[in-house]
Amino acid sequence: MTNLIPNFVPEKPSRIVVAMSGGVDSSVTAGWLKEQGHEVIGISLQLHDMAEKIENEFGTCCSLSDIMDARRVAEKLQIPFYVNNMEEEFRQAVVDDFIQEYLNGRTPNPCIRCNEKVKFRQLMDWALDLGADYLATGHYATVLPNQENHQMELFKGGDADKDQSYFLFAMKQEDLARTLFPIGNFEKKVVRDLAVKYGLLVANKPDSQEICFVQAKSYKEFIEEEVPKELLKPGNIVDPEGRVLGEHTGLHQFTIGQRKGLGVFGKEPLFVLALRGKTNEVVVGPEQNLFRKSATVSTLNWINEPLTQTRKVCAKIRYRAKESPVEVVPRADGKLDVRFEIPQRAITPGQAMVFYEGEKVLGGGWIEDLSIQ
């Protein structure tokens, strides 16, 4: 589905700070804004000092080599460029959270945490310090003012295959009011063609695919390198009735829906159904048990008005999942019960659930632990 609503960009010349990751999207954002006559300042956050282990095989962002790419783009565009080292803040807000979530039997989404806790918060503060009117990023999403309620609204990006609105549900009104997504309605081919037009060497640079701080290794290997062995607690692998089928050496090795590497076998293929952090158990069973019609979502953020009454909308349970019709039921404790019209496979605690009404992003929250049915 293509969003035909034009993205908001100021008509009069403005000072705009562009968050430059070294990729083609943010680079074209800077080039396009300068072409429109705005005063553009490029900034990058150094979040870690890991260099790519195998060139062009492991997609990353915010590494030292990416910052060098961003610097070269800024030189080509003849715009000021600054770098701020945020490794410590990134470690505390994103990497440590990533590790702890896996140890607790949950599957985290570090990209959303990074947007929420580090990138938008720190970049916006820095942009304001530089006297900027706006902060711009290369996200595929749309932000528009609603003249009736004087609020900003968040919509999907124009390229359905690249839409990144899912990752932005935690944004606040005060940030949306000063944030621009200039290429949010462009198709990827258009972006790459513009990069060629501007003479940028990143025109054909592959998109980031992997989590930036986990390179050339599995999540399991990364966590085992990062934490003391005594925190990797063994436990039982059980069936839904609690019968012990085997043992494991740590919850961090598993995620909901996983089939391979379980270490136990049954008459039919077994899949991970749940991870019980309190008892350190991995629950396995047949694939049909992965499909659920309900979930609970907490730590909610609403872009505009909160949902206070039962309502039918659509929801995504992970970035690449298809939207599904749901009924959302607000609870007195601030959480949300979500009932799916179509059973969903592998609803995963720790992942974000984001709610949509057509092209508009209503908000979202974090999926809580599931009971075994």
Question: What amino acid occupies position 29?
Answer: T
Q: Are strands 81-85 and 39-46 parallel, antiparallel or unpaired?
A: parallel
Which amino acid makes up residue 81? F
pLDDT tens for residues 188-219? 999 999 999 999 999 999 987 668 888 778 88
pLDDT at 52 over 50: no
Model confidence over 126-184: pLDDT tens digits? 999 999 999 999 999 999 998 888 899 999 998 999 999 999 999 999 999 999 999 99
What is the model's pLDDT at position 49? 65
Here the tokens at position 355 are 């709610």
Mean pLDDT value across residues 285-289: 96
Q: For residue 202, give both structure tokens.
A: 């990143």
> How does residue 50 score in pLDDT terms, banded at 50, 70 and 90?
low
Is the CB of residue 269 less than 8 Å from the CB of residue 358?
no
Give yes or no for residue 366 having a pLDDT over 90.
yes
Percentage of the chain surpassing pLDDT 70? 93
CA 361 to chain centroid, in Å, comes to 14
Any idea which residues carry the catalytic annotation?
A: 114, 212
Rg (CA), the chain: 22
Check pLDDT > 90 for residue 20.
yes
So what's the pLDDT on residue 11? 82
Is the pLDDT score of 1 beyond 80?
Answer: no
pTM, to two decimals = 0.91
Say yes or no to pLDDT of 16 above 70.
yes
According to the model, what pLDDT value does residue 61 have?
A: 61
Residue range 134-145, pLDDT digits in tens: 999 999 999 999
| pLDDT interval class at 103 (50, 70, 90) | very high
Q: Which domains are seen in the chain, by residue range?
A: 15-197 (3.40.50.620), 233-285 (2.30.30.280), 291-367 (2.40.30.10)
pLDDT (average), residues 28-50: 92
Instruction: Identify whether the C-beta of residue 338 lies closer than 8 Å to the C-beta of residue 297.
Output: yes
- Please tell me which residue, 124 or 355, carries the higher pLDDT value: 355
Residue 6 buriedness (CB in 10 A; 0-12 / 13-18 / 19+)? exposed
Our measurement of the distance from residue 208's CA atom to the centroid of its chain's CA atoms, rounded to an integer in Å, reads 12
Nearest to 159 by CA among 138, 187, 182: 187
Q: Is the pLDDT of residue 220 over 50?
A: yes
pLDDT of residue 58: 39
Residue 217 pLDDT: 81
